[in-house]
Chain A
Amino acid sequence: MPTFGASQGDSTSSRSVFHLWQGFSVLAAIIGGLVVALVVWAALRYRRRGDAIPAQYQYHIPLELLYTIVPILIVFGLFAATLVVENKELANPKTSVTIDVNAFQWGWKFSYPGTPVVVVGQTTQAPTMVMPSDTNVHINLTSTDVVHGFYVKAFNFSRYALPGVLNQFTIRAVKTGTFFGQCTQLCGLYHSLMFFHVKVVTPAQYQTWLSQNSSNAAVAAAAQSAQSQQSATYVPAKTTLSSGVK
């Protein structure tokens, strides 16, 4: 089946979302194609050929009922498919891995509860969230200041980070690799540069990474000091803009 411009992504949910996308797109293509064909046919076939006044038809009740009832049935079909995917995507299965994600102007902090590991980075520093593959990873998403958007294209998923609200969801990545993420909800001056990465590693690599960094006090300390700079006084150097992201 054609992709209709989307990609299947790298998590279990992203794949069901992709299939939903395909289903919607097939229907949209059929209905859109039908309507365009009718409009073009009507425009060409019934263009003016003289001054005769055509028959002044105004109603055709069975036809009107047809194009009222059929769309209602289609809509409920789409709604049913939506519910199936939505319930799967928003299910909250038991999990052993939890990551606290905190968004702030203009960066991200990823902390791993139960360990001292904290990763913080601002704008084009693009901090990396490390997570294990083939594992349900529970994300606790918060914001310290304004509304931000946690968006990872590879997961076909986004969620607002709202001040005063704890947003929770689960991601199960099916492939290892490094994926790009960024803030999608306008959050002020450096919104365009509020980047992060998601690095999906094997569960074994994840454990190694976690224990290495837990013992590395320097990492935690550095993270703490970076965290204390969170206030709006931080201004990235002009050069970060042109140097871009590795």
Chain B
Amino acid sequence: MTEVLDRPVETPDHGHEQHHGPTGILKWLTTTDHKIIGLSYTVTSVMMLVIGGAFAELIRAQLTTPNGTLVSLAQYNELFTMHGSVMIYLFAGPFAFGGLANIIVPIQIGAPDMAFPRLNALSYWLYLMGSITMLSGFFTAGGAANFGWVGYAPLSSSINTPGAGADLWIGGLLLTGFSAIFTGVNLCATIFYLRAPGMTMFRMPIFTWNMLVTAILILLAFPVLTAGLIMLYADRHFGTHIYSVAGGGVPVLWQHIFWFWGHPEVYILALPFFGMATEIIPVFSKKPVFGYKGMIFATLSIAALSLGVWAHHMFTTGVVLLPFFSIMSLLIAVPTGIKIFNWIGTMWRGQIWFSTAMLMAIGFLLTFLIGGLTGIYLASPPLDFFTHDTYFVIAHFHSVVMALVLAGMGGLYYWGPKVTGYLLNERIGKIQFWFLFIGTQVFTLPLYLLGLRGMPRRMAVYPHDPQWKFLNDLSTVGAVLIGVSTLLFVVNIIVSWKKYPAGDNPWDGHTLEWFTTSPPPHHNFYRLPQIRSERPTWDHNHPEHKAVPHGKHAEVTP
């Protein structure tokens, strides 16, 4: 009698593989396993979310009174600069393409690891060092960088902002930028070359598709930022005059370079989270993604358009061609709208299971709707002149990024069990969702009104208009609710620690990661199912419920 395995082993090489290697801290330091690197990325970036969130709470606390004295004017400038920098550079991007994508993409396409495992490890260590470098500005005599997360020249020059904090900001951003570029290279190579047999491009899950497009955008955009930062550093220390008028330079060049990176960056941040929502919604609706190919073409057109819209951040400079950048920006609404209708179409006539992940995805959808619609206003130059640099803009992009946080939390609840082997407590998860969702709206909606009433961004005090206090206080209440939701997430991890075994496929998933064990073995798979659609695991588990091709609806309608 032979030993009975709980799953058939078809590839003995891998099936009996025992991975011998270091354990503990040495394993963490030397690993090239994409799952462990991805987990390191995820944990580090969630820590950055907590740090950036703490800065946000301090900002909100300062603004509860018109003459806030919690922090000084100088400290306030450091706070919002580092809040934005930590959230954009050190949390949102690395969480998505370093964390979840690193773990999930190779498994979704049936690959044993990333294409360049050691480069992958290098990416993580560059990111960690970059994060520490940027944050260490707080420990220098002059404090951390204080010229806003966009670092506009010539405020960021050595004359206007001397001090090591600014240099550490540049250095930290360069390091994390390289980390992003290497991850982009790695994702492209992995997705192009390591797909399992049968996994054609149009059978890849939407999350993988979005990560491929994100990676291409990273490769197009980040080198520009890197060049811009090196020129900024040269201006500060080597006596060049690229951004200084006195030496014949052009300050607005920095804005062009920064936003040529910065607007694709918006989609570098957003597309992965769109992808997460597009994985979660079909699984919990028990239906395939509605309009799968339309979804992919929408992603591709968002990426293409995103390279031609950077100057909508610069309408009020008076030195850009307004109609071109206006129509390009407005057009992005079209593929984004397609995505929203496809998500609704996926839920339509489904059997929706309101797990925490699904609630988070629906919360993402509604919050992103608000951020998306208000973005359309900002694509119109006259309305941008009206609201530029006011809290309206702050409210707009916080609706967007909080939507991404909702989707990211959904991603953690959805894929966490795959990585750890254990589920999180659903009851606490749902309470966390309501705090996060309601908190987000209470936090952002008053900010729209504040902006329309003329409150500019980056104000440490507003002595001339105490009437802004009420809306600011309301927004602070929202920020506190969001803070509570983050604490609930930490509580949930502690409460659920190794308590609820997940099994291989707790959600009746569609894609390959739900075919392997939780957590997956060293090289991810003992065996693979036949891949004949973008839902190989579903097809394997429900062979009688394959997706209905277009034009065949009448034949299956009861």
Contacts and interface: CB of A to CB of B under 8 A. Distances in A.
Nearest to B347: A42
A97 interface: no
Nearest to A74: B333
B340 A35 contact: yes
Contacts of A243: 463
Given A6-B452, A58-B288, A186-B457, 17 more contacts: A5-B449, A5-B452, A7-B452, A21-B377, A39-B362, A53-B545, A55-B558, A56-B546, A58-B290, A68-B294, A75-B333, A149-B389, A153-B454, A165-B318, A191-B458, A244-B67, A245-B463
Given A53-B286, A53-B542, A192 B334 contact: no
Looking at A85, A163, A243, which has the most chain B CB atoms within 10 Å of its CB? A163
Contact of A188 (B160, B340, B452): B160
A145 B353 CA distance: 58
Contacts of B461: 192-193, 241
B36 to A, nearest CB: 35
B290 A57 contact: yes
A164 B251 contact: yes
Interface string A53-87: 11111111101100110011001001101110110
A31 B129 CA distance: 45
A159 to B, nearest CB: 5
Contacts of B376: 24, 28, 78
Contact of A162 (B285, B317, B381, B452): B317
A210 interface: no
B163 interface: no
Given A78-B330, A83-B323, A180 B464 contact: yes
A54 B287 CA distance: 7
A226 interface: no
Looking at B67, B289, B461, B463, which has the most chain A CB atoms within 10 Å of its CB? B463
Given A36-B366, A58-B292, A151-B456, A46 B155 contact: no
Given A46-B347, A48-B353, A68 B553 contact: no
Interface in B449-476: 449, 452-454, 456-465
Contacts of B152: 146-147, 185-186
Interface residues of B, number: 98
Contacts of A217: none
A227 interface: no
Contacts of A147: 152, 154-155, 251
Interface string A77-101: 0110111011001100000000000
B30 interface: no
B456 A164 contact: no
Contacts of A167: 317-319
A242 interface: yes
A50 interface: yes
B330 A146 contact: no
Contacts of A35: 340, 344, 369
Contacts of B322: 86, 90
Given A43-B362, A158-B316, A164-B251, A57 B349 contact: yes
Looking at A7, A13, A36, A146, which has the most chain B CB atoms within 10 Å of its CB? A146
A205 B386 CA distance: 29
Contacts, number: 278
Looking at A7, A36, A164, which has the most chain B CB atoms within 10 Å of its CB? A164
Interface of A: 5-7, 13-14, 16-17, 20-21, 24, 28, 31-32, 35-36, 38-39, 42-43, 46-50, 52-61, 63-64, 67-68, 71-72, 75, 78-79, 81-83, 85-86, 89-90, 105, 124, 145-147, 149, 151, 153, 156-160, 162-165, 167-169, 180, 182-193, 195, 241-245
B286 A54 contact: yes
Contacts of A241: 67, 461, 463
A184 B455 CA distance: 9
B252 A162 contact: yes
B74 interface: yes
12 contacts: A36-B369, A39-B344, A47-B354, A56-B287, A63-B345, A64-B294, A64-B341, A67-B337, A165-B319, A187-B155, A188-B161, A193-B461
Given A55-B548, A184-B456, A78 B380 contact: yes
A42 B348 contact: yes
A192 B377 contact: no
A237 B291 CA distance: 63
B318 A160 contact: yes
Contact of A46 (B285, B452, B453, B457): B285
A140 B510 CA distance: 61
B382 A85 contact: yes
B492 interface: no
Given A35-B344, A188-B160, A244-B464, A17 B382 contact: yes
Given A68-B334, A245-B464, A52 B291 contact: no
B19 interface: no
Contacts of A105: 160
Contacts of B73: 189-190, 192
B24 interface: no
Nearest to A14: B386
A242 B67 CA distance: 7
Nearest to A4: B452
A50 B351 contact: yes
B458 A186 contact: yes
Contacts of A164: 245, 250-251
B289 A58 contact: yes
Given A17-B382, A46-B352, A72-B334, A186 B344 contact: no
Nearest to B156: A146
B148 interface: yes
Contacts of A145: 154, 160
B365 interface: yes
B550 A59 contact: yes
Contact of B386 (A17, A49, A50, A183): A17
Contact of B547 (A58, A60, A86, A183): A58
A24 B347 contact: no
Given A48-B351, A241-B461, A20 B245 contact: no
Nearest to A81: B380
Given A35-B344, A242-B67, A48 B352 contact: yes
B222 interface: no
Contact of A192 (B287, B293, B459): B459
B381 A54 contact: no
B547 A56 contact: yes
A16 B292 CA distance: 42
